């Protein structure tokens, strides 16, 4: 594949949806493109705003927490795997509306609670906490939604 053909193909791919640089580089590597060509194409796509890491992070964070109902930890880890520096995505994670975020977690836990089988409230809460942790929520937020006191807090 020629460099101009690859550029056109990747540009049209980027025009259909948001993609980050690492996704584009990986795609061209699978095509067997030389490293120098990949870098030139990726740089040009960034200059022409086909690729914009900040725009990508904004869309990724919104989609994952609203649609996939992921927590901040899981979103951050997914963006790290896409080789996006934390200083790029951290502001978008911090900009998530806390009340909406907690509301999503509460509805997620309420739905899961209906399907959990457990003998005691302790077992059910443990299963719910593990479920929420696996979805990328922090224990402080989980405790808030489940009304579980911290271990060093006296029970009321």
* 113 and 139 together in one domain: yes
Q: Which are the contacts of 124, defined by CB distance < 8 A and separation ≥ 6? A: 113, 116, 118
CA 116 to CA 123: how far, in whole Å?
Answer: 10
The pLDDT tens digits for 29-54 are 999 999 999 999 999 999 999 999 99
Name residue, tokens 């399907």: 115
Please give the tally of structural domains in the chain.
3
153 in a structural domain: no
* 40 and 57 together in one domain: no
Q: Where are the alpha helices (DSSP H) in 1-156?
A: 3-16, 21-30, 35-47, 53-66, 72-81, 86-94, 98-115, 121-134, 139-146
* 81 and 121 together in one domain: no
Q: Which are the contacts of 117, defined by CB distance < 8 A and separation ≥ 6? A: none
**pLDDT tops 90 at residue 58:** yes
* 108 and 142 together in one domain: yes
Range(s) of the domain holding residue 65: 53-94
The pLDDT tens digits for 90-127 are 999 999 999 999 999 999 999 998 898 878 888 889 99
66 in a structural domain: yes
């Amino acid at each position: 594949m020629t460099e101009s053909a690859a550029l056109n193909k990747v540009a049209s791919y980027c025009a259909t949806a948001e993609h980050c640089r690492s996704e584009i580089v990986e795609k061209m590597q699978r095509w067997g493109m030389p490293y120098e060509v990949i870098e030139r194409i990726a740089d040009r796509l960034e200059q022409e705003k086909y690729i914009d890491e900040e725009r990508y992070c904004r869309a990724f964070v919104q989609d994952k927490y609203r649609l996939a109902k992921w927590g901040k930890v899981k979103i951050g880890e997914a963006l790290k795997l896409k080789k996006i520096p934390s200083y790029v995505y951290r502001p978008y994670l911090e900009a998530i509306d806390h009340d909406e975020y907690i509301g999503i977690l509460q509805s997620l836990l309420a739905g899961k609670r209906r399907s959990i089988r457990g003998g005691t409230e302790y077992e059910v809460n443990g299963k719910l906490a593990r479920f929420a942790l696996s979805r990328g929520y922090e224990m402080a937020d989980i405790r808030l939604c489940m009304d579980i006191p911290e271990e060093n807090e006296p029970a009321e």
